[in-house]
Amino acid sequence: MRALRRRPKNQVDWPDDDAVTTSLPTVAVITMVRDEATALPRWIAHYSAQVGMENLVVLDDNSSDGSTDDLPCTVHRLPALPGRKGYETARMGLLSGIASGLLAVYDWVVMVDADEFLVADPASYSSVPELLARRAGGAIAPMALNVVHHTESEKPLDPDLPLLDQRHYATFVPLMCKPSVKRVAAPWRHASHGIAAPFAVDSELFMLHLKFADRDQLKVISDRRSEMVSIDGRAAKSSWSRSGDDMVALLEEVSARIDPVTLTEFDPTAADLASVVFEESPGEFRTRKQGQVRAMREEPVHLIPTRLRGLI
């Protein structure tokens, strides 16, 4: 059994109760995908190293690219989900229901997209389960960093190399600080940006979101998602409705603001994490209503903390 490190004194204390233990908890990680051939191999490698291959569950929403064939983890192939207004309701109901079932046998359930990577701060913990062994909260959100491809100085991503050896910049996006980690059977809301339970952003848990991490892949993925919006109306009010050219233009706009000489590392202790979450209605909590596009334009770009290198 690993010896757990103490939580830094300058961090917000999480409540202690009988659930906090020095034993590593059992953790299941689930994702729902369609045609994620580029993202899935890195996702599988990362989360299997964190929690074990046998604890990964991939829900395949009718992929046609072969990306979920012969995966070494559990794969469940879904029937077509309802289109238009029913899609998001069905997706959240499915994911919340599966998570609740898993919580009958797991201590924690994590739900992340194929381009979202959770890492515990290596200054205090060696893995996400080690961090969760010291948490008693019902639901936890990570600090979300949208990784930015600095197109002037960084090459296209090489899938065989560590990601954070190839990318050095990111923007903190409050909207993406989703309650992705939970130990209570409360359903997710608002496309997983909310939950029917209180939650807080954990300053020792990072989420690296790779949507903007590669210009070429951003165009391909954005065009594919925009097409899905036109076909069945899914995520119509999100950035999924924007074309690949629009999203690449946004990335170029953000990339042009990067000055490698003057930028400083993202400091979790400097972020106003308390303002990220609010109670939208009695018993239902969600992240700040600041869209990704707006956040990418308005929030400053930072250097990704060097201590995270090699973790993805």
DSSP structure string for 91-138: HHHHHHHHHHHHTTT-SEEEE--TTEEEEE-TTT-SSHHHHHTT---S
Identify the three-state secondary structure at position 201: strand
- Reported as type and span, the H/E element at residue 140 is strand 139-148
**pTM for the model:** 0.88
Which pLDDT band, with edges at 50, 70 and 90, does 4 fall under? Answer: very low
* pLDDT single digits (tens) 260-284: 999 999 999 888 898 999 999 999 9
Residue 11 pLDDT grade (very low, low, confident, very high; cuts 50, 70, 90):
very low
31 has a pLDDT exceeding 60: yes
pLDDT score recorded for residue 20: 46
Choice among 75-84, 159-168, 202-211, 294-303 with the minimum mean pLDDT: 75-84
Q: How many CB atoms lie within 10 A of CB 17?
A: 8
Most confident segment among 81-95, 169-183, 234-248: 169-183
AA letter at 287:
T
Q: Let me know: does 205 contact 116? Beta carbons within 8 Å.
A: no
Predicted pLDDT at 82: 81
Sheet containing 188-189: which strands, arranged edge to edge?
A: 188-189, 194-195, 284-287, 277-281
User: For 206-263, what is each residue's pLDDT tens digit?
Assistant: 999 999 999 999 999 888 877 776 666 565 555 556 788 899 999 999 999 999 999 9
**In the predicted structure, residue 141 carries a pLDDT above the cut 60:** yes
Span 161-178, average pLDDT: 96
Mean local confidence (pLDDT), 135-159: 95
What mean pLDDT is predicted for residues 107-120?
98
Letter string b/e over residues 239-258, b meaning 16 or more CB atoms within 10 A of that residue's CB: bbbbebebbbebbeebbeeb
Please state the length of the chain: 312
**182 - beta bridge partners?**
109, 139
Mean pLDDT calculated for residue range 45-56: 97
244-255 vs 215-232: helix crossing angle, rounded to 10: 140
Q: Parse the chain into domains and list their residue ranges.
A: 27-308
Closest CA to 170 of 265, 249, 101, 253: 265
The per-residue pLDDT of the chain, averaged, comes to 88
- Model pLDDT, residue 15: 40
Predicted pLDDT at 10: 31
Statement: residue 27 has pLDDT above 90: yes
What sign has the CA pseudo-torsion 271, 153, 38, 72?
A: negative
* Main-chain phi, psi angles of 126, to 5 degrees: -100, -10
